[in-house]
């Protein structure tokens, strides 16, 4: 073919090859290992760290605050106030993971005396690890932790400058982190915390929060119990109460027990604020899966054979229909790592090779294509027959 007006020579290929070889010949023979971008990523997300308990103190009559440092002497990674840490507890030789919102502030992780804290309330019988933390964990103990995780944090591009925090019980922890960060001057936002407790004895982190009240950090305690002499707000976090403490433009951050979520979903509608102004923290693991819509109730007392494939290794373990696949693995001492344990983050993404299962509709954070190919988030999935799953080798 003839390219009109375009007379180029035919030696181009040889010329560019010569140029290439010339560039290599002239290059240094010293290995350059620098990956500064990867190093920043590694600083923010170092993966699983070994942590040591250095302090335990009461956060109220029924909760404790535990402080951790890294055993390798490095600083804790940067994180956003409101994020959580996933802790790994080795109990009877079995690794059990639990997520906890971080109650200390990001600046406390970045200072020279770097630490991270969680605040955990003793359970009413259903929280194995919560009780372990309150009753048995002691200074000097070591465990593993991954942070900062989760999406429950102030994003300046998206959120109103005034945060209205709707907290219930120990759900105050992410807001304690935000409050401290604002007080320290490293988070540019105003915060009003509407904090629901039953009685004043139940208020978690009361002294710490009271100490940092300011123009930017308002704390309003709301008691639902019958407490004589209480002069503050009473009742639940109703739309009316929320309105009273709102400004013109607010982003509502909601963290608390599941009953509070269900209540507030109704109340928040009455506020008539745009959807983008409302942010719920993850729901938490379903408390009573058999009560969820769509769950075949006749299954709940059954136990199935769960075949767990890791590489070419296969193990068969029992799995109860009312417990998640993660719980079944944890009971059997098979490590299936989790982060959020709410079905949202996908860290425990697992392939179902065989069998039928139930996914909690309140915790179904799966990708569309994953649903098509039977990938599940094991923390929110319950066996309804004998099953075979494939999980990562740990």
Partner 1 sequence: MKFYKDHYDVIVIGGALAGLSSALMLAEKGKDVLVLERHNLPGGIATSFVRGGIEIEASLHEMMSIGPKGNRLKVGKFLEDMGVDVEWLKVPEAYHASIPGLEVTLHPGLETFAKEVDAAVPGTYEKVLKLLNLCHTVFDSVNELSIHPMSKVKMLLKHEAFVKTAGYSTQEVIDSFDLPQKAQDLLAPYWIYVGSGFRELPFTIFAVLMADYVGYGSYIPRKFSHEMSLKMAERAEAMGVQIEYRQHVEKILVKNGRVYGVRTQRGDEIHADYVISAPYPNKVYTSMIEPKSEVPEGAIKMVNGRRLSLAAFSVIMILDKTAEELGIRDYSIFHGDTMDTDLLYRDLAGLGPYRYLTCICHNLANPDATPEGTCSFSITTLPRVDGWQTVSADDYDRVKHEVASQMIDMMNKYLGFDLREHILECVIETPMTIAHYTGMWNGCIYGYAHTMEDHIVARLQTAEEEKFIEGLEFAGAHQISGDGMGPAVTNGRKAAKNVLDDMKKREAAK
CB of 352 to partner 1, least distance (A): 13
Give min distance, CB of 97 to partner 1, in A.
14
Minimal distance in Å, beta carbon 365 to partner 1? 5
> First and final CA of the chain: distance in angstroms?
60
Q: What angle do CA 356, 360, 366 make, to 5 degrees?
A: 85
Query: In this structure, what are the phi and psi dihedrals at residue 381, rounded to the nearest 5 degrees?
Result: -125, 135
| Angle subtended at Cα 358 by Cα 356 and Cα 363, rounded to the nearest 5 degrees | 145
Nearest CB to partner 1, comparing residues 63 and 149: 149
Nearer to partner 1 by C-beta: 8 or 124?
Answer: 8
Of 39 and 288, the one with the shorter C-beta distance to partner 1 is 39
- What's the min distance (Å) between Cβ of 33 and partner 1? 5
Q: How many CB atoms lie within 10 A of CB 74?
A: 12
Residue with Cβ nearer partner 1 (36 or 125): 36
* Structure tokens, 198: 């039953």
Shortest gap between Cβ of 393 and partner 1 (angstroms)?
5
Choose between 99 and 196: whose C-beta lies nearer to partner 1. Answer: 99
Yes or no: say if 172 and 66 are a contact pair by the CB < 8 Å rule.
no
CB of 371 to partner 1, least distance (A): 9
Shorter beta-carbon distance to partner 1: residue 21 or 139? 21
Residue closer to partner 1, measured from CB, 8 or 138: 8
Q: How far is the CB of 95 from partner 1 (least distance, A)?
A: 14
Q: Which token pair is 168?
A: 């219930």
- Both structure tokens of 216: 């930017």
In sequence order, which ranges of 75-186 are alpha helices (DSSP H)?
106-110, 128-135, 173-183
Distance in Å, CB of 357 to partner 1, minimum: 18
Judge contact between 80 and 154, C-beta under 8 A: yes
With b for 16 or more beta-carbon neighbours within 10 A and e for fewer, the 157-191 pattern comes to: eebbebbbbbbbbbbbbbbbbbbbbbbeeebebbb
CA dihedral sign of residues 176, 181, 183, 188: negative
State which residue, 23 or 297, has the beta carbon closest to partner 1.
Answer: 23
For partner 1, the closer CB: 52 or 390:
390
Distance CA 180, CA 174 (A): 10
Taking CB atoms within 8 Å and a gap of at least 24, the contacts of 180-184 are 180/81, 180/104, 180/105, 180/107, 180/108, 180/208, 180/212, 181/81, 181/105, 181/106, 181/107, 182/216, 182/217, 183/212, 183/214, 183/216, 183/217, 184/105, 184/107
Measure the CA–CA gap between 109 and 273, rounded to whole angstroms. Answer: 35
What does the CA dihedral 41, 83, 151, 392 come to, rounded to 10 degrees? 60
Q: How far is the CB of 16 from partner 1 (least distance, A)?
A: 4
Number of H helices, E strands in the chain: 10, 19
CB of 146 vs partner 1, minimal distance in Å: 13
Structural contact between residues 88 and 97, judged by C-beta atoms closer than 8 angstroms:
yes
> Between 17 and 214, whose beta carbon lies closer to partner 1?
17
């Amino acid at each position: 073919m003839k390219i009109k007006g375009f007379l180029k020579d035919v030696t181009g290929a040889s010329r560019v090859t010569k140029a290439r070889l010339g560039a290599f010949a002239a290059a240094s023979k010293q290995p350059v290992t620098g990956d500064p971008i990867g190093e920043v990523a590694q600083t923010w997300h170092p993966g699983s760290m070994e942590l040591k308990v250095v302090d335990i103190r009461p956060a109220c009559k029924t909760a404790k605050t535990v402080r951790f440092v890294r055993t390798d002497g490095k600083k804790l990674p940067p994180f956003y106030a409101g994020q959580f840490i996933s802790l790994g507890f080795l109990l009877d030789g079995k690794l059990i993971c639990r997520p906890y919102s971080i109650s200390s502030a990001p600046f406390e992780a970045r200072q020279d005396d770097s630490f991270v804290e969680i605040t955990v309330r003793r359970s009413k019988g259903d929280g194995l690890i919560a009780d372990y933390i309150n009753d048995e964990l002691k200074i000097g103990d070591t465990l593993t932790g991954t942070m900062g995780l989760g999406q429950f944090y102030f994003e300046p591009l998206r959120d109103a400058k005034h945060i209205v925090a709707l907290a219930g019980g120990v759900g105050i922890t992410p807001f304690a982190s935000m409050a401290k960060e604002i007080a320290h001057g490293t988070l540019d936002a105003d915060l009003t915390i509407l904090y629901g407790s039953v009685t004043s004895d139940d208020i978690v982190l009361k002294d710490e929060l009271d100490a940092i009240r300011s123009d930017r950090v308002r704390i309003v305690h709301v008691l639902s119990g019958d407490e004589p002499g209480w002069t503050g707000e009473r009742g639940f976090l109703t739309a009316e109460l929320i309105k009273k403490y709102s400004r013109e433009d607010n982003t509502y951050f909601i963290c608390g027990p599941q009953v509070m979520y269900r209540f507030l979903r109704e109340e928040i509608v009455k506020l008539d604020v745009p959807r983008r102004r409302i942010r719920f923290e993850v729901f938490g693991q379903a408390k009573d899966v058999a009560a969820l819509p769509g769950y075949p109730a006749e299954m709940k007392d059954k136990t199935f054979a769960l075949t767990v494939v890791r590489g070419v290794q296969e193990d068969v373990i029992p799995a109860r229909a009312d417990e998640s696949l993660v719980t079944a693995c944890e009971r059997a001492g098979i490590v299936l790592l989790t982060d959020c344990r709410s079905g949202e983050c996908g860290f425990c993404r697992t392939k179902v090779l065989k069998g039928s299962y139930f996914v909690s509709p309140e915790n179904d954070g799966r990708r569309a294509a994953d649903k098509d190919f039977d990938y599940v988030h094991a923390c929110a999935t319950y066996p309804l027959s004998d099953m075979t799953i494939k999980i990562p080798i740990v």
